[in-house]
Amino acid sequence: MQNHVQLARLYAAMGDHLAGGRLDGIFEARLGGPGSVLSLNDLGTAEWQLDLLPFPPTEAQRAALAGLGYALAAETENRLTYTRPDALDVVLLSHDQGASHEQKLLWEYLSRPAEGHAGSAYRRAFLASGRLAADAEFVPLAQAAHVARTGFGPLHRAAALLSPLGVPWMFAAGWALDLHRQSLLGLGPSRPHEDVDVILGREHQRAVGQGLTDAGYRVSGVREGAYLPWSDPLELPHFQLHAHKEGHEMLDLMLTDLSGDLWHYRRDVSVTLPLERARLVSAQGLPYLAPEAALLFKASPSNGNVRPKDQRDFEAVLPALDASARGWLAARIGEGHVWQPALRAVSLE
């Protein structure tokens, strides 16, 4: 009970991003750290891990923690640890850089009875080199175990919700690339995914939003990065609905112009693909955005820099791109883009 009072005070001080109407706040909170795993709790107490927006925290957020009696004890690029003598440590984790998701998978992995040997190995690494080194060694193992355990299950669950609604949709982003690899090369997912990205015709948002609400999801509109209650359909330039349900993957619904049997690139509507080419169907019967279109989003982030995650996705799907896909993408990302040499050199085996 005391721990949950502590969490309530943290939410009151830092804000609840999911409650809507704000750009900052806690996106997700959970217990983590060695103390959250029964077999490792002698290595330290549990900690509150906060998936925080923005990261690093603002001066106002830091001041709020100080006002609650917390002091900064350790800081890395993607993790800040605050301590208070009479309370659990509070660990702030980067949302955008994936640090929060990594920690979530790590402690789920070490908590699973089937991974008992992993706990012993983690203990040895912790005692030999410390927490940060042990985490760095075991996060990739946790990610691989998660992928092996879940496979494409999140997509099949999402498809079971969306397919009965009778409207056109398709998976997007990293999941689309993994479906393409599975269809052409017979491979499983290349990495864990934090949510499920779905492309939806803008005119069908009401039907899908209502269907998800009926299924127990909380559907929110995203406007300039803030959540607002979704009731009326979103109008341009807004394009995202987020659907949350406890114990399920978040659905990120991206509203797109699919009129005239064309897929329109949201960032430049003059860039199109025939819908029959843009919407592919995997060997498992799951619709997905063609890889060249999915990669165009990853090649052109808002800050101009390709994220490490997107670079890994590009390298993973590259052997599954045919000449047509490579040529289409190369013509649209600019001559100086870092992907140009690879697009010109690789050929489908």
Could you tell me if 174 and 231 lie in one domain? yes
Residue type at 209 in one-letter notation = G
The predicted-structure confidence for 143-182, as pLDDT tens digits, reads as follows: 999 999 999 999 999 999 999 999 999 999 999 999 999 9
What's the rounded Cα separation, in Å, for the pair 336 and 274?
27
Average pLDDT over residues 111-133: 92
pLDDT of residue 259: 83
Decide which of 209 and 233 is more confident. 209
Residue type at 311 in one-letter notation = Q
Could you tell me if 313 and 282 lie in one domain? yes
What's the rounded Cα separation, in Å, for the pair 41 and 28?
23
The neighbour count for residue 243, using CB atoms within 10 Å, is: 27
Decide which of 303 and 60 is more confident. 60
Could you tell me if 101 and 223 lie in one domain? no
CA distances for 228 relative to 17, 21, 256, angstroms:
10, 6, 20
265-297: string of b/e by CB count within 10 Å (b at 16+)? bbeeeeebbebebbbbebeeebbbbbbbbbbbb
pLDDT of residue 347: 46
- Residue 233 clears pLDDT 60, i.e. is over it: yes
Six-digit token pair at 318?
């590259």
Q: Is 98 within 8 Å of 194 (Cβ atoms)?
A: yes
The neighbour count for residue 145, using CB atoms within 10 Å, is: 20
Could you tell me if 305 and 318 lie in one domain? yes
Q: How confident is the model at residue 98 (pLDDT cuts 50, 70, 90)?
A: confident
Could you tell me if 181 and 135 lie in one domain? no
Q: Is 183 within 8 Å of 216 (Cβ atoms)?
A: no
* Radius of gyration of the chain, Cα coordinates, nearest whole angstrom: 22
Average pLDDT over residues 241-257: 95
pLDDT of residue 229: 84
pLDDT of residue 194: 94
| φ, ψ dihedrals at 232, nearest 5° | -85, 150
Does the pTM exceed 0.85? yes
pLDDT of residue 297: 95
* Single residue among 122, 150, 178 that ends a domain in this structure: 150
Could you tell me if 333 and 233 lie in one domain? yes
Six-digit token pair at 33?
């750290």
Could you tell me if 222 and 139 lie in one domain? no
Could you tell me if 110 and 53 lie in one domain? yes
* Single residue among 94, 116, 150 that ends a domain in this structure: 150
Question: Which residues of 66-194 form beta strands (DSSP E)?
Answer: 71-75, 79-83, 89-94, 169-171
Average pLDDT over residues 11-39: 94
Q: Give the strand pairing for 195-201 and 250-256.
A: parallel
* Single residue among 99, 129, 150 that ends a domain in this structure: 150
pLDDT of residue 349: 43
pLDDT of residue 346: 61
Could you tell me if 124 and 209 lie in one domain? no
Q: What is the mean pLDDT of the chain?
A: 93
What is the residue whose two structure tokens read 């494409």? Answer: 152
Question: Domain range holding 69?
Answer: 2-150
- Residue 302 clears pLDDT 90, i.e. is over it: no
pLDDT of residue 2: 75
Average pLDDT over residues 7-17: 95
The number of residues in the chain equals 349
Average pLDDT over residues 36-50: 94
Average pLDDT over residues 294-321: 88
Q: 141-145, 146-150, 187-191, 231-235: lowest mean pLDDT where?
A: 231-235
What's the rounded Cα separation, in Å, for the pair 119 and 108?
11
- Residue 304 clears pLDDT 80, i.e. is over it: no
Could you tell me if 70 and 189 lie in one domain? no
Could you tell me if 117 and 39 lie in one domain? yes
pLDDT of residue 50: 97
The CATH number linked to 259 is 3.30.460.40
Six-digit token pair at 321?
């791109």
Number of structural domains in the chain: 2
3-state helix, strand, coil in the chain (%, to 5): 50, 20, 30
CA distances for 298 relative to 98, 240, 301, angstroms:
16, 17, 6
Six-digit token pair at 46?
């549990």
Helix H or strand E segment including 28: strand 25-32
Could you tell me if 104 and 177 lie in one domain? no
What's the rounded Cα separation, in Å, for the pair 289 and 41?
44
- Residue 114 clears pLDDT 80, i.e. is over it: no
Half-sphere exposure of 7 (CA within 13 A, CB side): 16
The CATH number linked to 83 is 3.30.460.10
